[in-house]
Amino acid sequence: MKLLTRKEVLERLRISDTTLRMHIDWGLFPEPFTITGSRPHLWLESEIEEILKSCVSAKYKYYNQTKYHEAMKAVVENIYKNRQSKK
């Protein structure tokens, strides 16, 4: 299990910090988490990979932006459910 920092996520996705924050606010990207005593803004690498795969798949499947957003929100909700089940 590898953890990624905000900087690593931005580099991997090739987006700006502003874009990342927008996607988090819109529910299209999972919020970061913290581990006691660690720096904030961490993501599991597996979550980022899941987002990337889903993003590509949804882009090809849905030309309608609303349906694309709905599909990505469902992926993010699934990530949150997985986080809760691992606690």
As beta bridge partners, residue 42 has 5, 33
Does residue 86 have a pLDDT over 90? Answer: no
The per-residue pLDDT for 87 is 65
**pLDDT higher than 90, residue 61:** no
pLDDT classification of 2: cutoffs 50, 70, 90: very high
Terminus-to-terminus CA distance in the chain, angstroms? 15
Could you read off the pLDDT of 9-60 as tens digits, one per residue?
Answer: 999 999 999 999 999 999 999 999 888 776 678 999 999 999 999 988 887 7
